[in-house]
Structures are given as structure tokens and as C-alpha cells.
Amino acid sequence: MVKREDPHTAGLNVYRVGGAVRDALLGWPVYDNDWVVVGATPDAMRKRGFKPVGRDFPVFLHPDSSEEYALARTERKSGHGYSGFEVHASPDVTLEEDLLRRDLTVNAIAQGTDGQLVDPFDGQGDIEKRVLRHISQAFSEDPLRVLRTARFLARYAPLGFSIAPETVALMTKVSESGELEHLAAERVWVETEKALGEPSPEVYFTTLAECQALSVWFPELVGEALSKGLAAFEHAPAANQARLAHWRYALLVCALDDTAREALAKRLRLPNGVSELARHVALTLQLLKTPLEAAAVLHWLERLDGWRKPAQVDAQLLLVAKMAGEQVAALEAAWNSARAVSPQSLIKQGVQGAALGKALREQRRLAVVKALG
């Protein structure tokens, strides 16, 4: 089959870059491509039908594929945090200059439309050696890269990867400089959430501990709390990636006390669903610590909003299944009996209003008592 040339990019100097090239070389699944465009202007991109999306630098979406096309640029840090960047994008920025501003050698390989690789920092050599290595001191201009590097290791450690000692040293220097504190909590959570969905999520946290970054954003997890939390990961049930990440987070913090867990949730500005899930796991483990009693089970179901959101109870039973097997079976039986109590049948009997609520509560109580035997 003859491949038709894409009219939108015909004559443009474009390269596939970043994660897509890295992952293709690693044999890892590639979900989306990022492209860099050399020698073009924003105007020329718009005329070709690309849609501008970048707020801080010129990035465009391809009109058909919606893949990202960024104009080659250089960046220089000019202040704290993420806002302090001076971006220089112009047709005279070369591909090599654009690659030089990037974080890791394995992320700075470009591929021309002819398939040729442009690899000025020997990213291919580092892929072969299984090493995550920073490209230059500019690594420290974006403190998020400390978290990114730990996250990449959580993904690739099972392939034999490690972080170059000089990069660990630089990550430590960034952590100790206080720059990590300037990151937005949301960005920290995005990295952490991704890391929690990776094959070796524990590696993210141990790496952050090793380079002194853990105490900045996760002080509650420093020391023994971390080993306890990481040990809980193996109890995470199989799930899709988004769910798995949240379940693992809830397990990670399940041994913390309420104050520590809530402080962490607040600092990370966790989405409500995630902090609530973590709270629920703590409640469930608390319930399972002692022999099950009907009043405690009913109180737990109320706290989980189980009558309105039964899926929240089901999730808890799955989550703690491997931690407290037998008790969980009894709890599940009690829950199944209680949820089988139907308001409809009471309504049919003519029970209404406040009396209905009371009757429901009583029938559920009886169901739980009976199930617990």
C-alpha cells in the first residue's frame, strides 16, 4: 500500500520525540505521539490547520489525529516554581537545542519521518544500559523532574532500570534546595497517581525517600510508616489502572492515624473521592480489628453511605479481602443480608414517612444480627 503524504505536515520539518520514541525502543506500548516542529512559525502552523493549545509555549493539535506538535524551543529558568520559565520558540531553534532542554537522555531521542533517529545524548546507549540519566544541569530547572524520574523508575525497574548515581545526586540536591516546595500540589498528585498505577509503585516512594524528596510532600510516610504502607500494596486487588492507583493510595496510607492521613490529603489536595476512599479503608480496618458486632457493622455502613452508594461498600470488601479473609466473608454476608431489605416491600405494606426510615433501620439491624449469627 502506498502511504499518502499528510497534507498538513508535508514539507514541515517534524520529528517524533519523547516518550513515544523511548517506549517504542523499549518495546513498551505507545499510546500517543508527541512531535516537535523545527523551523516553523505559529502563523504557518495555523495556516496548515493546526489548532493552537499552548498557553506557555507554542503547541498545536493536528487537525485530524489531535496529536501534539510543539515548535522547537529553548527554556531558561527565571524564578521559582513552574511559572518562572523564559521560553524561546523561534524558527532558528534547532532540534538539538530543543532536545537539550529535556530531562533524561532516554527522553531526548528524536525520530525523523524517514525513521532515522537523532540522539545527541546517547539515549539509546542508556536504554541499552537500562539507565535513567539526566542530560544536563538544566534538569534541576524543573523540580517536577525529581518526581518524574522516580515515576519512570516505578515503570521500568522491572526491565532492569536504575537511576544513574550522578542523577540521584542531582535529585537530592534539588530536594535539599527547597525547590520542590514550590510545586503545585496538583502536579505532585498527578505524578504520584501515575506512579501508583505503574508495575513497581513502591519504587517511586523508595526513590523519593533515597533522594530526600519524600519528607517534602509526604512527611507522614517517612520511616517505618513507609515500609508499612508499601507492604500493603501487595493486597491491592486487580483493577484497571485508574482504580488501581487509588486503591493503592488508600492502602499506602491505611496504617496512618486519622490526623496524619488527613494532613497528607490536604497537602496533596487530593480529589475528594481519593481521600474518602482512604478514610473508608481506615474505617474498615478499624472495624475488622475486633470481632464483628451488629451495631459497629451498621455504623460502618452508615459512614460509607452504603445504602445510597452500595458500590462503596463492595469496593471496601474487595480492598481488604486479602488482609482479613475470614472476617471479610462474615462482613460480606452481613452486608448482603442488610442490602436485601427492600424499602419497596415496606412501602407496599403502607409504611410511610419517618416510620419508613425507622422500620428500614430496624429490619436492616435484624438482618445483620441474623447474618452474624
Ligand X SMILES: Nc1ccn([C@@H]2O[C@H](COP(=O)(O)OP(=O)(O)OP(=O)(O)O)[C@@H](O)[C@H]2O)c(=O)n1
Binding residues for CTP: 19, 22, 102, 148, 151
Three-state DSSP class for 190? helix
Cα separation, 2 vs 279, whole angstroms: 57
As annotated, the binding site for Mg(2+) includes: 32, 34
- b (16+ CB within 10 A) / e for 299-323: ebbeebebbeeeebbebbbbbbeeb
Q: Considering the complex, what minimum distance in angstroms separates the CB of residue 50 from ligand X?
A: 18
Q: Least distance (Å) from ligand X to the CB of residue 252?
A: 20
Residue (87 or 323) nearer to ligand X, CB:
87
Query: Is the CB of 171 or the CB of 334 nearer to ligand X?
Result: 171
Shortest gap between Cβ of 196 and ligand X (angstroms)? 13
- At residue 154's C-alpha, the angle toward residues 283 and 106, to 5°, is 155
Greatest alpha-carbon span in the chain: 81
- CA geometry: angle 218, 255, 144, nearest 5 deg: 20
Closest-CA residue to 197 (of 140, 107, 274): 274
Annotated binding site: 19, 22, 32, 34, 102, 148, 151
**Residue closer to ligand X, measured from CB, 109 or 368:** 109
The least CB distance from residue 37 to ligand X, in Å, is 14
Compare residues 121 and 300 and give the one whose CB is closer to ligand X: 121
φ/ψ of 59, rounded to 5, equals -125, 140
Indicate the annotated binding residues for ATP. 19, 22, 102, 148, 151
Question: Smallest distance, Å, CB 142 to ligand X?
Answer: 5
SS3 311: helix
Phi and psi dihedrals of 93, rounded to 5?
A: -75, 125
Which of 70/304 has CB closer to ligand X? 70
* Among candidate residues 365, 366, 367, 372, the one with its CA nearest the CA of residue 340: 367
CB of 102 to ligand X, least distance (A): 4
How many angstroms separate the CA atoms of 127 and 303, rounded?
Answer: 49
Tell me how far, at minimum, the Cβ of 323 lies from ligand X, in Å: 31
* Number of Cβ within a 10 Å radius of residue 65: 14
Contacts with ligand X, residue ranges (CB under 6 A): 18-19, 34, 102-103, 107-108, 142, 144-145, 148
Cell of 244: 488501581
Q: Which is nearer to ligand X, 50 or 152 (CB)?
A: 152
Phi, psi angle pair for 89, to nearest 5°? -120, 120
Of the pair 142, 179, the CB lying nearest ligand X is at 142
Closest residue to ligand X in the complex (CB): 19
